């Protein structure tokens, strides 16, 4: 694994010289999780430090088509159209490797004087990590990335209105782990993995997934902000590789009937570097910390759905017997519940949160999960009974997770504990941004009952999710 | 009687359903519930823009429940139910033109009387929990009738200009401020923040959340 990150060396210019960096690309994600930024001349980039460069404040106050949020307000915005800053986190500065002259750095949205903006998704995640740090805890986590790969360019996919695309795979069957399918994607994936390695993003495995042309990629666990940064970079690399090879990819949650992209999130808590979920002396080896944390996650799960499933399209995925969970339940080694607990050993005990859609914003999703867990620790709550059956097709008395974007927003709005953890003004702005997304969907005359995504959804989410 | 009547929507109601529910609630309040007598107990309406159909189950004792109708259901009422149109619904009866009494009842149900715009504006601003009279001073002016309304005494100023009809639609809950501005129906001089907050309040009113 190449390790060329800047990581706070004393002399930035020396590092830039050593890696032949003539341009730097800044990158941050907006509320919807889309990567934004600029390509900066090296001189412009270094001159702007430590605060970084300006950009319009609506970058953090717009929808996925860059339509500014004109119908609701957040105090970070200026009373007229103004600027905010993208402040580089120099510990993330790396040479691109693929483009020999390019450096790449992850940024936070900040005020022009460098103060953090609480609404910034990356800042939101840092807030939750800090709260855990105050309790002497840290998090180790990773994401499972799922995406579809098509033998059509993005332009071709658009021309075909995203219908009848050619998934990359050998078999017309909807198989999983089929090596013949995987082999068809090897050229693409090898290029992706080479670039990940150049960025210092370690990966564990990739495989052919269930949908036709669907691939799952697993990254090596690390701490939350590092992992979310890696997800954003990996998605960008996957997109760029597809462009270069004349292919198209999508992380859209539900791009084809019957199959969806999820983004399961594994995590565990540590104290002074030692995992805390497994307790040899506790019943079923489940530590008290694990039980309280689990209680917080399950109790707030319906409210976190809004962050875990951010788009109108995300909710097409949450269907009974379609693999994603539909209930706020948990179970040991149960992949039909919202949370799958794996408590098999001191070092491997972890929680797999299975609600997240492929189009989630990794900073938001992790922040919401950690905030939920924190509510459980604060209340010292015990989790509801473990769900030991199949969690689909069960009686309606078992509460279902929100199944549409507005119900999810209302559920989040009603969860005071989570709103307090995530900062009330920020959560309310997020809720209104979801209302905006819902209204935009309906303004375009879309049918919410349509069993398949409409063109509006493809045009809005296919390329940029 | 009106207090006992409700208008319910399904949990994943679309804007058209919420907009219609608010209109029906207003009608029921205005009529003390009398408009429900003589209506079919199962009423299908169709929006000509989206071609979507809604089912209204009418119970004179409990109220109205709105849900989505099937594509094969026959619509009795068809028209412009687009909630983003910024105006009261316009519609016609399908195959029931010989029933003037039914038509009158439906007209009253789907088109409640508009409150005069200045009264509606006063009601709107007073009801909003987003707007503080000590923070904002909002003046609305109808150019065609030379009538005005002023609300609040705060330092944040806003001037809202439009015809009496447009202002009436806005303050009676048929439109969102930013839509009216973008479509040129209303001119508004205020900060971006003030416009956003008033728009947010009009959205709350439109969704019956105030």
- Enumerate domains of chain B plus CATH numbers: 2-110 (3.30.1050), 117-206 (3.30.1050.10)
Would you call B104 an interface residue with chain A, using a CB distance cutoff of 8 Å? no
Question: Which residues in chain A are contacts of B14 at CB distance < 8 A?
Answer: 442, 448
Given this model, what pLDDT does residue B2 score? 44
Tokens 């009608």: give the residue.
B27
DSSP single-letter state for residue B16? H
Please name every residue paired with A215 in a beta bridge, in sequence order, or none if there are none.
A147, A208
Which residue in A73, A406, A447 is closest to B193 by CB distance?
A73
Would you call A451 an interface residue with chain B, using a CB distance cutoff of 8 Å? no
Question: Which residues in chain A are contacts of B177 at CB distance < 8 A?
Answer: 71
Closest CA–CA distance from residue A387 to any residue of chain B (Å): 26
Would you call A303 an interface residue with chain B, using a CB distance cutoff of 8 Å? no
Domain segments of chain A as ranges: 12-117, 129-461
Would you call B154 an interface residue with chain A, using a CB distance cutoff of 8 Å? no
Closest CA–CA distance from residue A128 to any residue of chain B (Å): 28
- CA-CA distance, A382 to A374, in Å (whole number)? 13
Would you call A72 an interface residue with chain B, using a CB distance cutoff of 8 Å? yes
Which residue in B12, B199, B203 is closest to A407 by CB distance?
B12
Given this model, what pLDDT does residue A257 score? 85
Pick the CATH number of A129-461 from 3.40.50.300, 3.30.590.10, 3.20.20.110, 3.40.190.10: 3.30.590.10
Would you call A316 an interface residue with chain B, using a CB distance cutoff of 8 Å? no
CB contact under 8 A, B200 and A447: no
Question: Which residues in chain A are contacts of B191 at CB distance < 8 A?
Answer: 79-80
A42-48: Cβ within 8 A, 24+ apart? A42/A16, A42/A103, A45/A88, A45/A103, A46/A12, A46/A13, A46/A16
Would you call A440 an interface residue with chain B, using a CB distance cutoff of 8 Å? no
Q: Which two tokens stand for residue B109?
A: 């149900």
- CA-CA distance, A174 to A209, in Å (whole number)? 9
CB contact under 8 A, B14 and A448: yes
CB contact under 8 A, A435 and B52: no
Q: Which two tokens stand for residue A52?
A: 């970084």
Tokens 């447009």: give the residue.
B166
Closest CA–CA distance from residue B21 to any residue of chain A (Å): 16
Given this model, what pLDDT does residue A345 score? 95
Q: Quick: pLDDT tens for B87-129.
A: 999 988 887 667 888 888 888 899 999 999 999 999 999 999 9
Q: What is the 3-class SS of B81-128, one letter each residue?
A: CCCCCCCCCEEEECCCCCCHHHHHHHHHHHCCCCCCHHHHHHHHHHHC
- CA-CA distance, A37 to A216, in Å (whole number)? 27
Confirm if B99 and B42 have CB atoms less than 8 A apart: no
Which chain B residue has its CA at the smallest distance from A444's CA? B50
Tokens 């052919």: give the residue.
A208
Which chain B residue has its CA at the smallest distance from A74's CA? B193
Would you call B193 an interface residue with chain A, using a CB distance cutoff of 8 Å? yes
- CA-CA distance, A220 to A202, in Å (whole number)? 6
Given this model, what pLDDT does residue B97 score? 62
pLDDT of chain B along its 210 residues, tens only?
Answer: 445 789 999 988 999 999 999 999 999 988 766 778 888 999 999 999 888 999 999 998 899 999 999 989 999 999 999 889 899 999 888 876 678 888 888 888 999 999 999 999 999 999 999 999 999 999 999 999 999 999 999 999 999 999 999 999 999 999 999 999 999 999 999 999 999 999 999 999 998 887
What is the block-wise mean pLDDT of chain A (465 residues), using blocks of 10 residues?
69 94 98 96 97 95 90 92 95 94 97 97 98 98 98 97 91 83 94 96 95 95 98 98 98 92 98 96 97 98 98 94 93 96 96 98 98 98 95 91 96 98 98 96 88 94 92
CB contact under 8 A, A73 and B196: yes
Which residue in B11, B50, B197 is closest to A445 by CB distance?
B50
Confirm if B181 and B161 have CB atoms less than 8 A apart: no
The model carries a pTM of: 0.95
- CA-CA distance, B143 to A355, in Å (whole number)? 53
Which residue in B11, B12, B196 is closest to A72 by CB distance?
B196
CB contact under 8 A, A79 and B193: yes
Q: What is the 3-class SS of chain A, one letter each residue?
A: CCCCCCCCCCCHHHHHHHCCCCEEEEEEECCCCCEECCEEEHHHHHHHCCCCEEEEHHHHCECCCCCECCCCCCCCCCCCCCEEEEEECHHHCEECCCCCCEEEEEEEEECCCCCECCCCHHHHHHHHHHHHHHCCEEEEEEEEEEEEEECCCHHHHHHCCCCCCCECCCCCCCCCCCHHHHHHCHHHHHHHHHHHHHHCCCEEEEEECCCCCEEEEEECCECHHHHHHHHHHHHHHHHHHHHHCCCEEECCCCCECCECCECCEEEEEEECCEECCECCCCHHHECHHHHHHHHHHHHHHHHHHHHHCCCCHHHHCCCCCCCCCCECCEEECCCCCCEEEECCCCCCCEEEECCCECCCCHHHHHHHHHHHHHHHHHHCCCCCCCCCCCCCCCCCCCCECCCCHHHHHHHHHCCHHHHHHHCHHHHHHHHHHHHHHHHHHHHCCCCCCCCCCCHHHHHHHCCCC
Give CA torsion, residues B113, B114, B116, B121, to 10 deg: 140
Question: What residues 390-429 of chain A have any CB closer than 8 A to a CB of chain B?
Answer: 403-404, 406-407
Which chain A residue has its CA at the smallest distance from B49's CA? A445
Question: Which residues in chain B are contacts of A445 at CB distance < 8 A?
Answer: 49-50
Which chain A residue has its CA at the smallest distance from B191's CA? A79
Given this model, what pLDDT does residue A8 score? 66
Would you call A69 an interface residue with chain B, using a CB distance cutoff of 8 Å? yes
B130-138: Cβ within 8 A, 24+ apart? B130/B197, B130/B200, B130/B201, B130/B204, B131/B197, B131/B198, B131/B201, B136/B194, B136/B197, B138/B198
CB contact under 8 A, A80 and B192: yes
**ipTM of predicted assembly, 2 dp:** 0.93
Q: Does domain A12-117 have CATH number 3.10.20.70?
A: yes
């Amino acid at each position: 694994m190449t390790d060329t990150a800047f990581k706070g060396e004393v002399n930035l210019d020396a590092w830039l010289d050593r890696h032949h960096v003539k341009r730097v690309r800044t990158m941050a994600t907006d509320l919807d999780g889309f990567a934004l930024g600029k390509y900066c001349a090296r001189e412009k980039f270094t001159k702007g430090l430590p605060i970084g460069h300006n950009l319009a404040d609506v970058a953090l106050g717009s929808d996925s088509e860059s339509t500014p949020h004109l119908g609701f307000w957040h105090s970070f915005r200026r009373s007229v159209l103004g600027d905010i800053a993208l402040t580089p986190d120099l510990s993330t500065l790396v040479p691109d490797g693929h483009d020999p002259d390019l450096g790449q750095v992850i940024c936070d949205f900040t005020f022009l004087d460098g103060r953090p903006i609480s609404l910034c998704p990356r800042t939101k995640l840092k807030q939750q990590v800090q709260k855990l740090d105050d309790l002497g805890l840290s998090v180790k986590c990773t994401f499972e990335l799922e995406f579809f790969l098509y033998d059509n360019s993005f332009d071709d996919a658009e021309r075909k209105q995203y219908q009848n695309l050619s998934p990359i795979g050998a078999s017309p069957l909807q198989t999983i782990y089929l090596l013949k399918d995987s082999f068809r994607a090897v050229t693409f994936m090898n290029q992706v993995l080479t670039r990940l390695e150049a960025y210092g993003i370690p990966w564990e495995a990739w495989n052919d997934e269930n949908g036709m042309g669907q691939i799952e990629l697993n990254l090596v666990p690390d701490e939350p902000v590092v992992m979310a940064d890696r997800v954003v970079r990996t998605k960008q690399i996957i997109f760029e590789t597809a462009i270069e090879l004349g292919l198209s990819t999508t992380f859209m949650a539900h791009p084809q009937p019957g199959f969806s992209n999820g983004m399961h999130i594994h995590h565990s808590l540590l104290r002074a570097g030692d995992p805390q979920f497994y307790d040899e002396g506790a019943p079923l080896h489940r530590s008290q910390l694990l039980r309280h944390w689990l209680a917080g996650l399950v109790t707030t799960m319906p409210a976190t759905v809004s962050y875990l499933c951010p788009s109108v399209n995300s909710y097409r995925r949450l269907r009974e017997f379609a693999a994603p969970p539909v209930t706020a339940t948990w179970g040991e080694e149960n992949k039909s519940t919202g949370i799958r607990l794996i408590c098999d050993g001191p070092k491997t005990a972890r929680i797999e949160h299975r609600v997240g859609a492929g189009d989630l914003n990794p900073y938001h999703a992790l922040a919401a999960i950690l905030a939920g867990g924190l509510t459980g620790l604060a209340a010292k709550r015990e989790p509801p009974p473990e769900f030991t059956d199949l969690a689909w097709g069960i009686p309606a008395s078992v509460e279902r997770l929100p199944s549409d974007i507005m119900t999810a927003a209302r559920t989040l709005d009603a969860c005071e504990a989570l709103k307090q953890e995530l900062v009330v003004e920020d959560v309310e702005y997020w809720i209104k941004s979801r209302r905006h997304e819902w209204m935009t969907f309906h303004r375009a005359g879309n049918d919410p009952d349509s069993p398949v995504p409409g063109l509006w959804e493809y045009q809005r989410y296919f390329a940029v999710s | 009687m009106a207090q006992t009547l409700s208008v319910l929507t399904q949990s994943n109601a679309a804007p058209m359903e919420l907009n219609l529910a608010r209109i029906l609630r207003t009608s029921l309040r205005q009529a003390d519930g009398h408009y429900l007598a003589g209506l079919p107990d199962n009423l299908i309406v169709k929006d000509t823009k989206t071609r979507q159909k809604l089912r209204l189950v009418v119970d004179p004792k409990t109220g109205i429940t709105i849900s989505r109708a099937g594509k094969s259901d026959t619509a009795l009422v068809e028209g412009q139910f687009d909630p983003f149109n910024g105006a009261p619904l316009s519609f016609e009866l399908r195959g029931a033109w010989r029933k003037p009494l039914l038509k009158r009842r439906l007209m009253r149900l789907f088109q409640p009387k508009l409150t005069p715009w200045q009264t509606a504006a006063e009601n709107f601003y007073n009801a909003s929990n987003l707007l503080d009279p000590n923070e904002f001073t909002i003046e609305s002016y109808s150019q065609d009738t030379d009538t005005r309304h002023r609300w609040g005494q705060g330092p944040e100023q806003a001037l809202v200009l439009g015809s009496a009809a447009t202002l009436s639609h806005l303050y009676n809950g048929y439109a969102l401020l930013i839509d009216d501005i973008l479509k040129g129906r209303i001119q508004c001089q205020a900060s971006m923040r003030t416009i956003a907050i008033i728009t947010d309040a009009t959205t709350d009113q439109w969704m019956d959340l105030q």
